[in-house]
Structure 1
Amino acid sequence: MIRPVLTEVGIFLIPFALYALFLVATRSGLMLQASWPVHVIARLVLGSLLLVVVSFILLAHFSGAPPNSTYIPAHIENGKFVPGVEK
């Protein structure tokens, strides 16, 4: 469960990292408060949320079992564990 959460956090941080790289490239002062005005932070947050929502939609669309497939749950056969499968 930690991997999907860290993936989404990483996706959320992408616009902030790109803006920080832009500040470094333009030598504008990465740590100066004037380089991080509220309207820029608000746009970065909105862009980040949009990226996260798009990633959730793509994850739901392209992952999982195909439509009309049947899930066979994990079970024991002849004393051996058989993991669940999609058919």
Structure 2
Amino acid sequence: MSRAILEPLALFLAPFAAYAIYLVLRARYPLEVEHWTGVRVSILTVIGLAAAVLGLAALNLFAPRGHGVYIPAHQENGVLVPGRIE
């Protein structure tokens, strides 16, 4: 469950981190309010949302799928046999 939350969150926060690194490399203090105007934050938010949505779509498209038939859990001779994919 945490992977389902952390991956999109990391993709969303990546543009903000990249912009902060850009500010540091330009010898600017990244925590000053003047660098985080409404327009810049809006653009970074849209880029982050797009990255998160595209990342989830790519994960869904390229995720490995189980091949075979699911056999549910059942009892054989009084012994519980767990479910499996054959």
TM-score, reference length from structure 2: 0.81
Aligned length: 84
TM-score, reference length from structure 1: 0.80
Hey, what's the Cα distance between the residues in 2 that align with 1:81 and 1:16? 50
Number of the residue aligned with 2:3:
3
Relative contact order, higher structure (CA 8 A, sep 6+): 2
Where has structure 1 moved over 6 Å in runs of 4 or more? Answer: none
Amino acid at match of 1:45: T
Deviation at 1:5, TM superposition (A): 0.5
Q: In the superposition, relative to structure 1, how do residues 76 and 45 fare at CA in structure 2: closer, same or farther (>3 Å)?
A: same
RMSD between superposed Cα atoms in Å: 2.0
Number of the residue aligned with 1:28:
28
Which runs of structure 2 are paired with 1:1-87 in the superposition (5 Å)?
Answer: 1-65=1-65, 69-76=67-74, 78=76, 79=79, 81-85=81-85
Deviation at 1:73, TM superposition (A): 4.3
Runs of 5+ consecutive residues of structure 2 not aligned to the other structure: none
Identical-pair percentage: 21
Rg larger in 1 or in 2? 2
Hey, what's the Cα distance between the residues in 2 that align with 1:21 and 1:77? 59
Hey, what's the Cα distance between the residues in 2 that align with 1:82 and 1:61? 29
**1:19-69 alpha-carbon deviations (Å, 9 max, x no partner):** 000011101221111111110000000000100110111111111426xx5
Runs of 5+ consecutive residues of structure 1 not aligned to the other structure: none
Hey, what's the Cα distance between the residues in 1 that align with 2:16 and 2:69? 41
